[in-house]
Amino acid sequence: MANMQPVRGTHDLVGEEARRHRHVVETARGVAGRYCFEDIATPIFEFTPVFARTLGEGSDVVRKEMYTFADRGGEEVTLRPEYTAGICRAFISGGMRQSLPLKFFAAGPMFRYERPQKGRQRQFHQIDAEILGVDGPEADIEVIALGADILDALGVADKCRLELNTLGDPESRVAYRDALVAYFGAHGDALSADSRDRLRRNPLRILDSKDAGDQALVAGAPLMESCLNARSRDFFAEVRRGLDALGIAYHVNPRLVRGLDYYTHTAFEFITDALGAQGAVIAGGRYDGLIETLGGPPTPGIGWAGGIERLAMLIGAIPALPRPLALVPIGAAAGARALALAHRLRRAGFTVDLGYRGNLGRRMRRADKINAAAALILGEDELARDSVTLRDLDSGEQSQVPLAEIADRLARYRGPGPCPA
């Protein structure tokens, strides 16, 4: 018999959890819309090189975490582990260069094979924001401000702090790479096996190592600040001045880095301690060389991704759904009439529950279970009068309402949103 349990690292979104998930996405999309970000939806799988090139052939994500397989046509494809690469691929394949600058918002599932833990599953979900085609610090300021405003709109800004750093321009990164090679090379015997490999491939990745011995060495490693040229310092100063002008507080974290060479200038994370272990709920940075790495034209970009599961755990009570109206038909003739009435009321903006079967008592118990605001009772007497009996389920007040006046008489119960499960 087939295993009917969800695959390890996946779970179903149902009820309250699904509503919290949707609240995060809809709130973020609404705020992004005020910043004139357009929706984009890329496929959940791409040809493997799209991710292998952008995440780094030697990275843990590519070597250990990507869901990669050959499709029936023999093409190697990968379930997306993040959004940015797919959006940049869409920019190239869609010939969007003439439309720059572009601002995109996306939300959807990602896939990484890693040990499931609180707030992190093998299928997880992200919101994402990207600005393409702007090489000045104003894009960095705006995309960070968008993240801050989303956190504020979700009511979790006070649980998060913004950490900020600069990775410098390519010239500064080369100087920093050389400094790290010299430092870690002198301590090669003390490095973990993985970090000895990183030293050869990309020494900046050693700074993210979780190995205790590596971390002890990282504490004494050179800082990026010591390798910045004047242009990089000026760029970072402009970003900081912009955030100060907007009243967005931040902490400069000189150890916050991004390992791949196409990352430049600003790196940032919104961090929380409210979920136990410290973790980022939004993380991003500038990636001016990424589109060129994929074979596209030189195009600056900056963006971030936010974990929907983590944000959903952070938020408090979400806005209550509008209380529905319970339509209660009694008898076959009333049932047919009730179906048309429910359709009419829903099209008029009311949230209506129409139970499928049961006597009056059973239907009224369902009305109580779904926290209905009122019941509309439709029986033989009501059919004869071309009316319904309106019973307010809070006050118990009851009245006859002609069907011709129903929408006006029910105006106080109107509200958007689906009936609660």
Give percent above pLDDT 90 in the chain. Answer: 67
- The larger pLDDT score, comparing residue 60 to residue 303, is at 303
Residue 57: what pLDDT? Answer: 59
pLDDT higher than threshold 60 for residue 417: no
Domains and CATH numbers, the chain: 15-169+229-314 (3.30.930.10), 325-413 (3.40.50.800)
- The larger pLDDT score, comparing residue 264 to residue 63, is at 264
Question: What is the overall mean pLDDT for the chain?
Answer: 91
pLDDT higher than threshold 70 for residue 11: yes
Structure pTM? 0.89
Q: 193: pLDDT confidence band, cut at 50, 70 and 90?
A: confident
Q: 421: pLDDT confidence band, cut at 50, 70 and 90?
A: very low
Mean pLDDT, to the nearest integer, of 157-174? 94
Question: Do residues 341 and 403 lie in contact, with contact meaning Cβ atoms separated by under 8 Å?
Answer: yes
pLDDT higher than threshold 80 for residue 392: yes
Residue 278: what pLDDT? Answer: 61
- The larger pLDDT score, comparing residue 32 to residue 195, is at 32
Q: 316: pLDDT confidence band, cut at 50, 70 and 90?
A: confident
Mean pLDDT, to the nearest integer, of 11-32? 95
Residue 203: what pLDDT? Answer: 86
pLDDT higher than threshold 90 for residue 47: yes
Q: 53: pLDDT confidence band, cut at 50, 70 and 90?
A: confident
Q: 323: pLDDT confidence band, cut at 50, 70 and 90?
A: very high
Mean pLDDT, to the nearest integer, of 21-40? 98
Residue 56: what pLDDT? Answer: 67
Query: Which of 16-30, 110-124, 249-263 has the lowest average pLDDT?
Result: 110-124
pLDDT higher than threshold 60 for residue 420: no
Q: 320: pLDDT confidence band, cut at 50, 70 and 90?
A: confident
Residue 187: what pLDDT? Answer: 85
Over the stretch 349-384, which tens digit does the pLDDT of each residue have? 999 999 878 888 899 999 999 999 999 999 999 999
pLDDT higher than threshold 90 for residue 25: yes
Q: 19: pLDDT confidence band, cut at 50, 70 and 90?
A: very high
Residue 243: what pLDDT? Answer: 98
Over the stretch 254-306, which tens digit does the pLDDT of each residue have? 989 886 768 899 999 999 998 877 689 999 999 998 999 999 999 999 999 99
